[in-house]
């Protein structure tokens, strides 16, 4: 199964009517890739195109509609690409094969059958608590910064994150931030709380610093007790409560 990390993308360009042992070449290639256990491949039929022969193939001209270009793409590990590439090289007698280095950011596969619930589990050990203080009005490329931070942390596979919205607070500049009848919204304080291993928290801090313009980052040593009750949810603090972290008693620290 294709996993997150370095990979290669292979793209094969050929004509729709190209044959291989009395069958369409694109069908033969797809069958071969499936037989070799490639994670997945897609064949698309172009609307028009031309190649080295400088002939424009288009469905507008009946005699040229039979030669429309086909593109086959798949992403696999470097080892798997090295395994199938020699045969693909022999199969494609009229066409183009392109190989690019790429990176798989996410490889998710929905299981056909529900996975059995894991047994009840209790994990305990030293960990790091990361707290990021910012304002509700802070933005990142047009979206709320706290929302962008949670998305970034999730993509980094941080155990979990929880966002707290304060009702009152002030920071280093001494400006009060509150919500009242006369001030329905005045950049209320927000805190993002994360609990994970020291290594993961170091990675998270680097990502947060790159996105945070005005705020405060606090890191603390904690003892983490994580309870997994067999619900199949392997998330950490993303359940709405960080592990062992109480609700904040103060508002926004930075201003």
Rounded CA gap, 144 and 238, in Å?
A: 18
Using alpha carbons only, how large is the chain's radius of gyration in Å? Answer: 27
Pick the CATH number of 121-239 from 3.30.70.120, 3.40.1000.10, 1.20.140.10, 2.40.50.140: 3.30.70.120
pLDDT band at 61 (very low <50, low <70, confident <90, very high): low
Higher pLDDT, 163 or 231: 163
Minimal CA–CA distance to 233: which of 134, 115, 74, 126? 115
Distance CA 207, CA 155 (A): 11
Q: What is the pLDDT of residue 98?
A: 95
Mean model confidence pLDDT for the chain: 80
Binned at pLDDT 50, 70 and 90, residue 57 comes out as low
Q: Are 248 and 162 in contact (CB under 8 A)?
A: no
pLDDT at 105 over 50: yes
Q: How is residue 99 written in tokens?
A: 């190989």
Compare 235 and 167 and report the one with higher pLDDT: 167
Is 121-239 in the same CATH topology as 5-104?
yes
Among 24-38, 202-216, 237-251, where is mean pLDDT lowest? 237-251
* Distance from C-alpha of 74 to C-alpha of 2, rounded to nearest angstrom: 11
Q: Please determine, for residue 246, whether its predicted confidence score (pLDDT) is greater than 50.
A: no
Would you list the domain boundaries of the chain?
A: 5-104, 121-239
pLDDT confidence of residue 139: 92
Q: How crowded is residue 163: how many other Cβ atoms within 10 Å of its Cβ?
A: 17
Instruction: Give the percent of the chain with pLDDT over 90.
Output: 49
Top pLDDT among 184 and 38 is at: 38
pLDDT score recorded for residue 254: 43
The band of 227, judged by pLDDT with boundaries at 50, 70 and 90, is confident
Q: What fold does the segment set 5-104 form as a domain?
A: Alpha-Beta Plaits (3.30.70)
């Amino acid at each position: 199964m294709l996993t997150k990390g370095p990979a290669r993308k292979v793209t094969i360009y050929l004509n729709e009517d190209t044959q291989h042992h009395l069958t369409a070449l694109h069908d033969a290639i797809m069958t071969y890739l499936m037989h070799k256990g490639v994670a997945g491949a897609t064949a698309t039929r172009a609307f028009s195109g031309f190649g080295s022969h400088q002939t424009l193939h288009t469905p507008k001209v009946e005699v040229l509609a039979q030669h429309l270009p086909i593109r086959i793409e798949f992403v696999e590990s470097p080892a798997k690409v090295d395994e199938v590439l020699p045969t693909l090289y022999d199969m494609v007698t009229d066409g183009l094969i392109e190989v690019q280095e790429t990176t798989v950011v996410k490889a998710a596969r929905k299981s056909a059958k529900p996975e059995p619930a894991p047994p009840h589990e209790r994990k305990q050990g030293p960990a790091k608590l990361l707290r990021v203080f910012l304002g509700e009005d802070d933005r990142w490329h047009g979206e709320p910064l706290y929302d962008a931070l949670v998305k970034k942390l999730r993509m980094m596979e941080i155990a979990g994150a929880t966002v707290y919205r304060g009702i009152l607070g002030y920071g280093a500049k001494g400006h009060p931030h509150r919500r009242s009848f006369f001030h329905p919204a005045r950049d209320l304080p927000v805190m993002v709380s994360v609990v994970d291993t020291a290594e993961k928290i170091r990675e998270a801090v680097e990502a947060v610093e790159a996105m945070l313009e005005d705020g405060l980052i606090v890191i603390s040593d904690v003892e983490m007790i994580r309870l997994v009750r067999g619900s199949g949810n392997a998330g950490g603090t993303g359940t709405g409560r960080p592990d062992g972290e109480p609700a904040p008693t103060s508002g926004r620290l930075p201003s």
